[in-house]
Amino acid sequence: MKIVQTIAELRDCLSTFKRPAFVPTMGNLHDGHIALVTQAKPQGDVTVSSIFVNRLQFAPHEDFDTYPRTLDADAERLKAAGCDVLFAPREKDLYPEPQTYKVHPSSELADILEGHFRPGFFIGVSTVVFKLFSCVFAGKPEGVAAFGKKDYQQLMVIRRMVQQFALPIEIMAGETQRAPDGLALSSRNGYLSPEQRLEAVQLSIALKALGEAAKAPGAADLASLEEQAMQTLARRGWKPDYLTVRRRADLQPPRGGAATAEPLVVLGAARLGTTRLIDNLEI
Ligand code: PAF
């Protein structure tokens, strides 16, 4: 596996390939990232991953400085998974000057849920992903990029961006990988104390319970079920931002409640101590 830092080196490495398969990450890789590499690899003629902790998607009070950086171990895992090229730019390689041109995703998708609680987050994500796509795919007839469903809204924002800008990139979705107890794998799980790690699975349990309650015959209205689900977590010491049932198509509340025939997803974000966890479940 080749490890490159600059955009020029990356483009040079990829020059003879026609359909890169790309997995962008912020590093501190877990089985979820590796599953994306395994899934994407057969879809392209060269497999590329990136590791870049993107300052643009962190608010000043968030964990940019402490985000785990484990490049050597990550490179080993990527190599073992069959990745051909690792793009690990320094900040000055990707942002040699302040990134003042940005991608602003449409607010009806990007200003709700995660975007509501993390203002500007999806501008930062869309901008870096657009730029990484430009580094990997510029001049290629086509390509494929893989994103995990764990970041459900992010996946949708990227799909729309690719569609709106007519980028010749197929977006693949990887299923959320979970620990044996059901906790969704996330680099931020490493922030949890042993006690918090035991408690953390309660987020996915609450989402499952909310999904079942919403689908039960004669269910109460969604708003009260969502409120109850948040209270359940709050009583256990969590600080929930949202637990909500939405349409998979656009993440808006289902018209006519959960009895709708439209495919739905239950999404949640909550803080356990200082660690903010997100998860979701398609129902
Ligand atoms: O999901 C992530 O790890 C990041 O948001 C991404 C897509 C690599 C952009 O920085």
Q: How confident is residue 44, by pLDDT bands cut at 50, 70 and 90?
A: very high
- Give me the architecture of the 187-282 domain, per CATH: 2-Layer Sandwich (3.30)
Predicted confidence at residue 38, as pLDDT, reads 98
Predicted confidence at residue 180, as pLDDT, reads 98
CATH 3.30.1300.10 maps onto the chain at 187-282
Predicted confidence at residue 148, as pLDDT, reads 98
Q: 28 CB under 6 A from ligand 1?
A: no
CA atoms within 13 A on the CB side of 229: 30
CA distance 162 to 166: 6
Nearest C-alpha to atom 8 of ligand 1 is from which residue? 25
Give mean pLDDT, residues 246-253. Answer: 96
Q: How confident is residue 243, by pLDDT bands cut at 50, 70 and 90?
A: very high
Ligand 1 mutation target, pool 54, 136, 149, 276, most atoms within 8 A of CB: 54
Q: 27 CB under 6 A from ligand 1?
A: no
Ligand 1: which atom is nearest the Cα of residue 54? 10
Predicted confidence at residue 256, as pLDDT, reads 78
* Per-residue pLDDT at 220 exceeds 90: no
Predicted confidence at residue 260, as pLDDT, reads 75
CATH 3.40.50.620 maps onto the chain at 2-174
Per-residue pLDDT tens for 101-156?
999 999 999 999 999 999 999 999 999 999 999 999 999 999 999 999 999 999 99
Q: 148 CB under 6 A from ligand 1?
A: no
Distance 140 CA to ligand 1 centre (A): 22
Ligand 1: which atom is nearest the Cα of residue 52? 10
Nearest C-alpha to atom 2 of ligand 1 is from which residue? 25
* Per-residue pLDDT at 244 exceeds 90: yes
> In whole numbers, what is the pLDDT of the chain averaged over residues?
97
Give mean pLDDT, residues 242-265. Answer: 90
CA distance 205 to 221: 20
Q: 26 CB under 6 A from ligand 1?
A: yes
Distance 25 CA to ligand 1 centre (A): 5
The CATH class, in words, for 2-174 is alpha beta
* Per-residue pLDDT at 91 exceeds 90: yes
Q: 278 CB under 6 A from ligand 1?
A: no
CA distance 249 to 282: 11
Ligand 1 mutation target, pool 128, 135, 161, 185, most atoms within 8 A of CB: 128
* Per-residue pLDDT at 261 exceeds 90: no
Predicted confidence at residue 102, as pLDDT, reads 98
Predicted confidence at residue 257, as pLDDT, reads 76
Q: Is the dihedral of CA 226, 228, 231, 233 positive or negative?
A: negative
3-state secondary structure the chain: CEEECCHHHHHHHHCCCCCEEEEEECCCCCHHHHHHHHHHHHHCCEEEEEECCCHHHCCCCCCCCCCCCCHHHHHHHHHHCCCCEEECCCHHHHCCCCCCCCCCCCHHHHCCCHHHHCCCHHHHHHHHHHHHHHHHHCCCCCEEEEEEHHHHHHHHHHHHHHHHCCCCEEEEEECCCECCCCCECCHHHHHCCHHHHHHHCHHHHHHHHHHHHHHCCCCCCHHHHHHHHHHHHHHCCCEEEEEEEEECCCCCCCCCHHHCCCCEEEEEEEEECCEEEEEEEEC
Predicted confidence at residue 214, as pLDDT, reads 92
Question: By percentage, how much of the chain surpasses pLDDT 70?
Answer: 100
CA distance 51 to 85: 11
> CB-based burial of residue 141 (10 Å sphere; 0-12 exposed, 13-18 middle, 19+ buried)?
exposed
Distance 218 CA to ligand 1 centre (A): 40
Q: How far is CA 78 from CA 45, 48, 68, 134, 178, in A?
A: 16, 9, 17, 22, 19
Nearest C-alpha to atom 5 of ligand 1 is from which residue? 125
Q: How far is CA 98 from CA 47, 55, 101, 123, in A?
A: 29, 11, 9, 15
